[in-house]
């Protein structure tokens, strides 16, 4: 079965890479492997698990600051209600319901959470 490598980049420059199949979300695999990604609802409504896609599909330009559309890297199991269309287009992704479509790198942690607004659903 196809799997994609999702590399989670933490604010302290640490990384964790998880291999995610199309039947699982990034959060499910991370938790199984003991990685402490923040989460709450697990339904795409609270925004606690948000990350920001840095690169997808090996299309990587070191040092580039351009936003990657999260749709290039992930499909969703359900509607990501906690994010606006603009946030999604700027690379923000809800890892609790996200299934990767490509190898990718994703920034995670409290700094990413502080970059987006509060969810209207939480």
| E strand spans, the chain | 4-9, 15-20, 50-56, 74-76, 92-94, 98-100, 104-107
Among 3-11, 44-52, 62-70, 71-79, the segment contacting ligand FES (CB under 6 A):
44-52
Minimum distance, C-beta of residue 35 to ligand FES, in the bound complex (Å)? 14
70: part of which helix (H) or strand (E)? none
Site for ligand FES in 23-42 (CB under 6 A): 39-42
How many Cβ atoms from other residues are within 10 Å of residue 31's Cβ?
16
Which x/- pattern, by CB under 6 A, does the window 62-101 give for ligand FES?
--------------------x-----------x-x-----
> Rg for the chain (alpha carbons), in Å?
13
Q: Which residues bind ligand FES (CB under 6 A)?
A: 39-42, 44-49, 82, 94, 96
């Amino acid at each position: 079965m196809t799997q994609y490598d999702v590399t989670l980049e933490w604010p302290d420059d640490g990384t964790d890479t998880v291999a995610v199949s199309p039947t699982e979300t990034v959060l499910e695999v991370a938790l199984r492997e003991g990685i402490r990604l923040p989460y709450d609802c697990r339904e795409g409504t609270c925004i606690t698990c948000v990350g920001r896609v840095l690169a997808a599909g090996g299309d990587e330009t070191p040092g580039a600051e351009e936003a990657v559309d999260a749709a290039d890297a992930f499909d969703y199991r359900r509607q990501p209600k906690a994010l606006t269309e603009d946030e999604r287009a700027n690379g923000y992704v809800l890892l609790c319901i996200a299934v990767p479509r490509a190898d990718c790198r994703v920034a995670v942690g409290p700094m990413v959470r502080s970059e987006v607004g509060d969810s209207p659903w939480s």
